[in-house]
Each structure stands twice: as C-alpha cells, then as structure tokens.
Amino acid sequence: MNRLIKLSRALPVPEPGPTVAYSPIRLTIPGRQPLELRLTAPAIGDAVPIVILSHGFGPSNYIPSKDGYAPLAQFWAERGIAVIQPTHASSRSGGLDPDLPGGPFFWRERVAEMRAILDRLAEIGGQAPAIAGRLDHGRIAVAGHSFGGQTCSLLLGGRLKGEDFSDPRIAGGILLAAPGRGGSDLTPEHAARFPFFDVDFGGIGVPMLVVCGAEDDPHFTPRGPEWHADAFRDAPGADSLLTIEGVGHGLGGIAAFDARETDVEEPEALEATRRLTLAWLRSRLSIEPDAWTKSQAALREDASALATISARGT
C-alpha cells in the first residue's frame, strides 16, 4: 500500500501480480555495438501484449536508457503487459559516440532500433526463458516520453519532410510530454538545432493517447504548455488528450523515483498518470476493453482535481 496517494485511489486498477525481468538482452546490429534491452513481463499467463517504451533525452546519466522509467514499466508489467525498454543510440550511458554522424540525438537510429525490436521479437523471447513463447506479437503498442515521444510519433505515422516511418505492426501508442510542432513554431535557435521536430502528425491514423503536464512550459518554443498537445490536435488517430494537473515535463515522476529527472515530484500525479495510461493500454490491447471508459468515469466523479481528459471532437 502506498501511503503517499489518496485521491488517485479512486481510479480503478487491477491488483499487481509478480513479474520477471531480463537485462541485458542484446541484439546484434551491423556496424555498431549491440542494442541492449530490458524486458519486464508478468510471471504467469500467455498471449501477453507488448509495449515498447522509448526513453527521453534527459539530464541524468542512466535514466535515459533501459535502466530508467521503472515507475511506468514495472507498474504496467505487474498488470498484464510485457514492457521492452531499449537503450537508444542517444543514451549517455550505453548509446553511440555522440560525435558520430547523427549524434548526439540519433533520431533516425532510434527509429531503426524500435523497428529492430519489432523484427526480432522471437529472438528477444529466446533470451528470456521464462517469457519465451508467451508474448503476443499481434498486440503491440509503443509509448515514449519527451524525445521518446518524437520517436514513437514517427513509428505511428508522423512524417518528416514527407518521409513515412510508420510500422503497421503497431496497434496504438502513447505520447508522454512529447514535442509539438517544429519549424516556425520553435525559436530560431531551436528550429536550427532540432529540424527533426518538424513532424507532420497528420499521417497518424492509429489510435493514440497524448499525455501532457499542465505546467510543462517548453523552452523550445515561445508557445506555452499547450505546444505538447499538438499531436492530439493534428493526428486523426489521436482519440484522447490527458492533461495531468500541477506538474510539468516529468508528469510527477515517470522517469524514476526520487530523481533529478523529475521537475516536480508529485506522487498523486504520478499515480494518476500510471493508472490512466494503463487503462488506455488495457483497452487498446484488448485486455480489458472497457478499462478506459471506467477510468474516465472515475476521474470525472471522484478525482477530477488530478487530471482532465479531452476526447477528439470535443
């Protein structure tokens, strides 16, 4: 029992079950070092759906890697979802040399790493004996925080300078405090530094949940926190916008517990983020089809101070 949360207890969530984790799982990649992953999954059960969780480019040395984001990965895995976490090429601790071409952000390599995971799920399972044969390769979602959200937006169908990066194996996705529109929406300095933020979200047709912090004031753009909601407004598939009150870019602490990565550590906001994203995933991945509807009703009736949910077209 967590004594730090009260109001968010109103949001329904299954009881946690035991999990099993494997780290590092290594995938050989031609011309570079292996891609290292962490796989966390329920200890029992078959046909387990999958979420590939893409980390951000935050200030910490180890949190932007397979070793971060335990508050989300463990929470989701305890409640029926297998979570795969790559250490992206942009990682300080385990990525590529930032002075290589494409560095330090390696936005294109990050997309390729996510696709390598999709291509090699059987190989990943083979390195995790307690999980092998139990993953459902037909039920896959992606989720990404901050720069990880940019990575996921491309895989979901966002286009960059007309190039299509979408992957039909992905059934849906969650963007957590992801970048909004680039180009002229950025300051001139940041538009020059981050040309890969200029994503056209109009090609995203698969279901997507966009999550924002109400106080997430970005430094990339003269616009305010609503910049992070651009994908919800522009993507035809974005069905819901979840705005977490009282917090900024860290959404209460999703990257790690007690970490400098978190701008405002707020256990209630973190718990609301975890429970509501889980409900969306459980509905989208057909674990519990009415989970998202139930959670929205509970939020409105008993915990409306924590967050607001906007549906597309409202």
Q: What is the CATH number of the domain that holds 123?
A: 3.40.50.1820
Percent of all residues in the chain with a pLDDT value above 70, rounded to a whole number:
99
Before 129, cis peptide (omega within 30)?
Answer: no
Averaged over 242-263, what is the pLDDT?
89
Q: Which residues 6+ apart lie within 8 Å of 226 measured at CB?
A: 212
Averaged over 172-179, what is the pLDDT?
98
In the beta sheet, which residues pair with residue 143? Answer: 53, 174
Report how many domains make up the chain. 1
Q: What's residue 271's pLDDT?
A: 98
2 is written with which tokens?
């967590």
Averaged over 113-137, what is the pLDDT?
97
Q: What's residue 51's pLDDT?
A: 98
Task: Please give the mean pLDDT across all residues of the chain.
Answer: 96
pLDDT in tens, 15-33: 999 999 999 999 999 999 9
Q: Which of 94-108, 123-137, 250-264, 293-307 has the lowest mean pLDDT?
A: 250-264
Domain that holds residue 138: 7-311
Neighbours of 256 (CB within 10 A): 20
Q: Residue 129: is it exposed, middle or buried by C-beta count within 10 angstroms (0-12/13-18/19+)? A: exposed
Averaged over 116-137, what is the pLDDT?
97
Q: What's residue 260's pLDDT?
A: 65
- The reply to whether 2 falls in a domain is no
- The reply to whether 1 falls in a domain is no
* CA separation for the pair 139, 45 (Å, rounded): 15
Q: What's residue 263's pLDDT?
A: 78
pLDDT in tens, 211-236: 999 999 999 999 999 999 999 999 99
* Pair 217, 235: CB distance under 8 Å: no
pTM: 0.97
Q: What's residue 58's pLDDT?
A: 87
Q: What's residue 208's pLDDT?
A: 98
Q: What's residue 59's pLDDT?
A: 87
pLDDT beyond 80 at 314: no
31 is written with which tokens?
């011309």
pLDDT beyond 80 at 1: no
Averaged over 87-101, what is the pLDDT?
96
CA 290 to chain centroid: 21
Averaged over 98-125, what is the pLDDT?
97
- The reply to whether 111 falls in a domain is yes
- The reply to whether 248 falls in a domain is yes
Cα-flanking dihedrals φ and ψ of residue 238, to 5°? Answer: -70, 105
In the beta sheet, which residues pair with residue 141? Answer: 51, 172
Q: What's residue 258's pLDDT?
A: 78
